[in-house]
Amino acid sequence: MAARQKILIDCDPGHDDAVAILFAARHMDLVGVTSVHGNNSLENTTRNALAVVEMGKLDVPVAKGCAEPLAQEPVGIAAMHGKSGLDGAEIAEPTRRVIDTHAVDFIIAMAEQHKEELILATIGPETNIAMALRREPRLKNWIREITVMGGSTTLGNITPVAEFNIFADVEAAWAVYESGIPLRMVGYNVTRQTGFDQGDIDRMRGSGKKVAGVLADLMAFYLEKQRQGYGLTVAPMHDVCAIVPYVDDSLIDYLHTSARIELNGTYTRGMTVCDLRNLKSVAATNMRNATAPNALVAVNARSRALIDRVVDTLLTYD
Ligand code: RIB
Ligand code: CA
């Protein structure tokens, strides 16, 4: 059996972050989890990360990261996830504690220890990743791929064109997208339609398993918030979409193209400008703003099959 791929998840739990952690832990060698500000305060996202790792009985270190974006005002907590950042279920206060190492240093240490093997998943604002890139430029040679839940090839969620993780720290996202490290991006264009419906929630609750029962309560809360906010009929599982391709590469389709971060637009700051024109060499000479491809950009997903795979995995927890 092939060795499990090594992954480190940087996150802001967050209902969908929780699912991404539990899914990754079952299929990959999850070497660590790092917390960052985003859906809620760093204190809450860190506590939530510890609670999820403890709930899943995962032997995975958690390191605490950055509390604020690099160069902008914080965008404020995401109501979609509630006051705690993980509202909707009774979750015991974690007994586990974070490791002494700061998340930025932990990311660097894991990349050095697992040179050219480590997949770095960023499923929250990219502040920790950007700080690590500045602190240790050799990361560009050590990290195998950065898998991003962020951006969109079409509409945004926090603005008409910007997705939350990018918008919450635009300069950090710019540093990551311009780093030269191979990127795999799944954006809101795919993730908004890839989520748990009521049937999935009922399936988890009906399993009689403790973890699945807690997740069912969490997702019922999140589904209602998404219905109220956007009229969605699913609780979008944005973050696990950044993990799935390493487990089953048949579920999401990607285009290798350029994805650039808009830093300055009055209406477009935080937009991921993805070139979907599929320019051929002849046309490219007359077109504008064609830049070198820097990412595999998700353009389509077999959402129902993906979610079935995720629910099957979550049901393996007691
Ligand atoms: O826009 C969706 C992203 O923002 C997800 O990562 C969700 O957890 C929130 O962080
Ligand atoms: Ca997240």
In the chain, where the domains are located:
6-314
Catalytic residue check, 27: no
DSSP letter for each residue of 228-297: HHH--SSEE-TGGGGTGGGT-TTSEEEEEE-EEE--S-TTTTTBEEE--S---HHHHTTSS------EEE
Are the C-beta atoms of 64 and 12 separated by less than 8 Å? no
Q: Is the CB of 17 under 6 A from ligand 1?
A: yes
Choose the residue to mutate in 37, 81, 122, 123 for probing ligand 1, maximizing ligand atoms within 8 Å of C-beta: 123
Determine the pLDDT at residue 282.
Answer: 66
Query: Is 237 close to ligand 1, i.e. is its CB under 6 Å away?
Result: no
Ligand 2 centroid to Cα of residue 16, in Å, is 6
Q: Is the CB–ligand 1 distance for residue 239 below 6 Å? A: yes
Ligand 1 pocket residue status of 221, Cβ below 6 Å: no
Of the residues 27, 81, 238, 256, only one is catalytic, namely: 238
Q: What was the pLDDT predicted at 283?
A: 65
Q: Evaluate: CB of 123 within 6 angstroms of ligand 1.
A: yes
Which atom from ligand 1 is nearest to the alpha carbon of 239?
A: 6
- Supply the pLDDT for residue 290: 80
At residue 10, the 3 state secondary structure works out as strand
* Model confidence, pTM: 0.97
| pLDDT tens track, the chain, 318 positions | 678 999 999 999 999 999 999 999 999 999 999 999 999 999 999 999 999 999 999 999 999 999 999 999 999 888 899 999 999 999 989 999 999 999 999 999 999 999 999 999 999 999 999 999 999 999 999 999 999 999 999 999 999 999 999 999 999 999 999 999 999 999 999 999 999 999 999 999 999 999 999 999 999 999 999 999 999 999 999 999 999 999 999 999 999 999 999 999 999 999 999 999 988 776 666 788 888 899 999 999 999 999 999 999 999 999
pLDDT given for residue 285 in this prediction: 67
Task: Kindly report the backbone phi and psi dihedral angles of residue 269, in degrees, each rounded to the nearest multiple of 5, phi listed first.
Answer: -55, 135
CATH superfamily of 6-314: Ribonucleoside hydrolase-like (3.90.245.10)
- Classified as helix, coil or strand, 301 is strand
What atom in ligand 1 is closest to the CA of residue 157?
1
